[in-house]
Amino acid sequence: MKTPPKTSPKTPTETPTETLTGMPMGTPSVDVPAPRPPRESVAPPVPAAPPGTFRLATGGLSVLVPLRPLLAGAVLALLLVAVGTVCLAVGDIAVAPLDALRAAVLGSGSPRDLLVVEELRMPRIEAGITVGAALGVAGCLMQTLSGNRLATPDTVGLNNGATAFAVAGIVSSSTSLLPSATALTGAATAAVLTLALSGGAGQRGYRFLVVGLGVGAVFGAVTNLILSRARIDAANAAFAWTVGTLNSRSQTAVTVLEVGLLVCLPLAVVLGRRLNVLRFSDAVATGLGVRVRPLRVAVLLTSVVCAGLAVAVAGPLGMIALAAPEAARRLTGPGPVPVLTSALAGAVFTLLADLIGRTVMAPLEIPVGLVTAVVGGPYLLWLLLTTRTRRTP
Amino acid sequence: MKPVNTMTEARRLETASLTLAHGHTPVVRELDVELPPHRVTAIVGPNGCGKSTLLSGLARLLAPREGAVLLNGRELASISTREVARTVGLLPQSATAPDGLTVRDLVRYGRQPHQGLLRQWSKADAEAVEAALDAADLRELADRRLETLSGGQRQRAWIAMAVAQDTEILMLDEPTSALDIGHQLEVLEMVRGLAARGRTVVLVLHDLTTACRYADHMLALSDGRIVAQGAPAEIMTPDLVRALYGVESTILTDPVHGTPVVCPTALAVAPEPASVTSEAVPAAT
């Protein structure tokens, strides 16, 4: 009855890759007592950190830093600085990149440079970075939550809800009712509607996605209805809110978004460890000691807040929430859920799209939302055509 | 493999008049069972008898409708999920993993209940992962991606994840379904090894002969109730097989291991009156 286990069958063996250990406090590696008769060699020493990670430890505390995501993050951060510098320098009034950087970072330079950089371009870049980061995080969380790469704030109706409310606000009142406030209300309304109709975050979030599509379609129709019945000047004013732009942002909304990010980003990172487990089935996650329902609710709320605040700044900026996490996942590999990498990728994409929109047909400006749609559509197709079929994520 | 500390008293998992339901339909009714520590317990019974439901209940995936699951006398529902996860490991049926994970990545997830935001990787974690890889005989495959493995190897990797969790009690829901006999043996021998090192293992199994061969203790379920429980050699009779499956059978003795071998011969003519209701005995295949 208790025969020794069969040896594993006919598979080519790979030598275990050398582990990358980077322990400042070098804990001596320990031999595992071999539980069974060793085959051809003694058990190798226990690696201090799993392959591809870097362990920081002091006392009883330890943090595991995955190397590839770290590298991806560093590359994206550098890219962000580069794109940001170009954004500061390029425009109707050209500023030398180094001067622009100096004006932005040190606040020194000629008065003209300072005016252009600090007053005109910095706020816009700030808005672009925060909006992109928020959308990236929101998309990453929602995709992980539902186990579906198509589940993003745009697809579950948040963007359309925000647009419908903002447009309704602009069209219905001559006084400038703060569009970003109405947009935020709209995003929240769409989220609540979707949540209520789909009966909570639900199993695997599939129902949530489908209901979100429906809610989004209804809000989209409402927007079109309002626009078709509005006076032409009101419709014109409302147009910006139907495409997504960084041009007519409100500084208050940007500040609110920044506060939101300050709360949501650390929260997303803290949730991130358990979020990794959420990619398995609920049963596996529970077996590993994760309370699935509260976690789902927390992740969903974080995602909705990020997306709602971002939409309140820039309008329904499409595709970022879809593309950024996807790019992040490709860069970081199959390790942890790339929350921060998605934020960085989102920021880079948004800045880049805005830069293209500002320069390609200068002095005419293309709203960033149109750029992301034009670039994002083919990207989505490419994504669908190039990824191999996968099992349930 | 680090042996589970047998000096302390073994954790006992038992149910007290446990009723489990899916929606309004009770699936498991007023069950009182106890899992013998350091032994392999197999839950057997016909399709839809509540085997997996019982396991879900024992693993707190399903909250009791009435009664309770008790871990060392404490109600399971009152203990934090994380704490339970340090005592009870679970491998659900047909579990799937995100793409691209290596065996070692998967096994590492088993350490989740022992880790925290600022305690992400300790020596104990490293040792438990290596020990689990050894127990599953997967050291050579540790850096292979899961999708490149055979079914049996992949299943062993999943069990290794549950083993790395280092729990005294381990629950496996049909760990051998969809595996050929070679791969079944791989998995079941591994299970025996775990019990030999002091773990309490609960399995849901389809095949009676396999269950008799590998389990020390058997729970035979029909229509959500226990029909028989005890050592396989003692409880496995033609009457039991008829009551469970509506099948006439001859019970032989395994010439090598001395365990019962169930040899079905024909469908029973009429359902045994003892077997509760007629719908409890679906036509056997």
The tens digit of pLDDT for each residue in A232-245 reads 877 877 777 788 88
A290 at interface of B, judged by CB pairs closer than 8 A: yes
Tell me the per-residue pLDDT of A14-48, one tens digit each, with 9 for 90 and over: 444 444 444 444 444 444 444 444 444 455 566 67
DSSP per-residue string spanning A299-321: HHHHHHHHHHHHHHHH----SHH
Q: Which run of H or of E encompasses A239?
A: helix A232-243
Instruction: Identify the residue with better confidence: A21 or B33.
Output: B33
Kindly report the nearest CA distance between residue B159 and chain A, in angstroms: 12
Is A288 within 8 Å of B149 when comparing Cβ atoms?
no
Neighbouring CB atoms inside 10 A of A109's CB total 21
Could you tell me the CATH number of the domain that includes residue A186?
1.10.3470.10
More confident residue, A64 or B19: B19
Q: How far is CA B221 from CA A295, B29, B53, B92, B252, in A?
A: 35, 11, 11, 19, 22
Cβ-based contacts of A267 with chain B (< 8 Å): none
The answer to whether A338 and A274 are in contact (CB under 8 A) is: no
- The predicted model gives A84-93 an average pLDDT of 84
Residue B115: closest CA among B151, B82, B137: B82
Structural domain includes residue A330: yes
Interface test with B, best of A2, A6, A8, A329 (most B CBs within 10 A): A8
The Cα–Cα gap between B27 and B153 comes to: 33
User: Mean per-residue pLDDT for B244-262?
Assistant: 89
| Ramachandran angles phi, psi of A367, nearest 5° | -60, 140
* Cβ distance of A287 and B90 shorter than 8 Å: yes
CA distances from A238 to A181, A186, B53 (A): 14, 15, 55
Identify residue A182 by its one-letter amino acid code: T
Least confident of A150-164, A199-213, B120-134: A199-213
C-beta atoms of A276 and B83 within 8 A? no
In the predicted model, what is the mean pLDDT of residues A130-154? Answer: 88
Listed in order, strand segments (DSSP E) in chain A are 53-58, 61-66
Residue A247 lies in a domain: yes
Structural contact between residues A212 and A157, judged by C-beta atoms closer than 8 angstroms: yes
Q: How far apart (Å, rounded) are the C-alpha atoms in residues B88 and A149?
A: 32
- Considering only CA atoms, give the Rg of chain A: 24
Nearest to A27 among B91, B123, B153 (CB): B123
Q: Is residue A10 part of a domain?
A: no
Nearest to B97 among A7, A14, A280 (CB): A280
Report the percent of chain B where pLDDT is more than 90. 18
Q: Specify the 3-state DSSP secondary structure of B129.
A: helix
Q: A356 is in which domain, residue-wise? A: 98-385
Nearest Cα residue to A356 out of A338, A340, A372 = A372
What was the pLDDT predicted at A29?
46
Question: Which of the residue ranges A128-142, A190-204, A373-387 has the most confident prediction, judged by mean pLDDT?
Answer: A128-142
| pLDDT tens, position by position, B130-173 | 888 888 888 888 888 888 888 888 888 998 898 898 889 999 99
Return the pLDDT at B17. Answer: 86
DSSP at A44: P
Residue among A6, A14, A62 whose CB faces B120 most closely: A62
Residue B5 has pLDDT above 80, yes or no: no
Q: Which of A1, A11, A280 sits opposite B95 (nearest CB)?
A: A280
pLDDT reading at A209 higher than 90: no
Contact A11, B150 (CB under 8 A): yes
- Please give the share of chain A, as a percent, with pLDDT higher than 90: 15
Cβ of A60 and B134 within 8 Å? no
Whether residue A31 is contained in a domain is answered as no
User: In the predicted model, is pLDDT for residue B86 greater than 50?
Assistant: yes
Cα–Cα distance between A178 and A156 in angstroms, integer?
Answer: 24
Q: Report the number of distinct structural domains present in chain A.
A: 1
Share of chain A above pLDDT 70, in %: 83
Instruction: Establish whether this prediction's ipTM goes over 0.90.
Output: no
**Residue A236 CB partners (closer than 8 Å, separation 6+):** none
Do the beta carbons of residue A159 and residue A316 sit within 8 Å? yes
Tell me if A86 is assigned to some domain.
Answer: no
CA distances A387 to A279, A330, A390, Å, are 18, 11, 8
CA distance A183 to chain B (A): 35
Three-class SS of B47-81: CCCCHHHHHHHHCCCCCCCEEEEEECCEEHHHCCH
Say yes or no to pLDDT of B50 above 50: yes
Q: Say if the Cβ atoms of A6 and B122 lie within 8 Å.
A: no
pLDDT in tens, B175-190: 888 788 888 888 899 8
Name the average pLDDT for chain B: 84
Q: In this structure, is residue A156 part of a structural domain?
A: yes
CB-based contact B95 A270, cutoff 8 Å: no
Question: What tokens were used for A30?
Answer: 């320990």
pLDDT at residue number A379: 79
Chain-centre distance for alpha carbon A318 = 12
What does pLDDT average to over chain A? 79
Q: Do A289 and B85 touch (CB under 8 A)?
A: yes
In-domain check, residue A177: yes
Cβ distance of B90 and A284 shorter than 8 Å: yes
Q: What residues form DSSP beta bridges with B267?
A: B247
Tokens encoding B144:
């292979």
Give the CA angle between residues A293, A283, B280 to the nearest 5°: 115
Kindly indicate the confidence band of residue A80, based on its pLDDT and cuts at 50, 70 and 90: very high
